[in-house]
Homo-oligomer: A and B are copies of this chain.
Amino acid sequence: MSKTGPLDTAVSLDSYECTIAVECCVFGFQDNKLKILLVKRSIEPFKDHWMLPGGAMGEGKTLSESVNDVLHNLTGIKKLSLEQVASYSEVNRHPVKRVVSVSFYALVKPENYPVIPKNYISDIKWYSLDELPSLGFDHEKLVGDALEKLRDNLKEHLVFGELLPDRFTLTELQELYENILEEKFDRRNFRKKILQMNILEPTNEKKTGVKGGPVLYRKK
Residues in chain B near residue A100, CB distance under 8 A: 20, 57, 63, 102
Stretch at the interface among A85-93, A125-133, A199-207: A85-93
Could you say how many copies of this chain the assembly holds? 2
CB within 8 A of A7: which of B86, B94, B102? B94
Stretch at the interface among A9-17, A25-33, A177-185: A9-17
Residues in chain B near residue A102, CB distance under 8 A: 87, 89, 100, 102
Q: How far is the CA of A43 from the CA of B96 in the complex (A)?
A: 36
* A111 interface residue per 8 A CB criterion: no
Residues in chain B near residue A216, CB distance under 8 A: none
Chain B residue with the shortest CB-CB distance to A73: B4
> Interface size class for chain A?
35 or more
Chain B nearest CB from A30 CB (Å) reads 27
* A117 interface residue per 8 A CB criterion: no
A-B contact pairs, 30 of them (CB 8 A): A2-B58, A2-B65, A3-B59, A4-B57, A4-B58, A4-B73, A5-B55, A5-B56, A6-B56, A6-B119, A6-B120, A7-B21, A7-B54, A7-B99, A8-B96, A10-B43, A10-B45, A13-B19, A14-B56, A15-B56, A15-B57, A16-B59, A57-B100, A61-B91, A62-B89, A62-B91, A84-B86, A84-B87, A87-B102, A100-B102
Residues of A within 8 A of B (CB): 2-11, 13-16, 18-21, 41, 43-45, 54-66, 69-70, 73, 84, 86-87, 89-91, 94, 96-97, 99-100, 102, 119-120
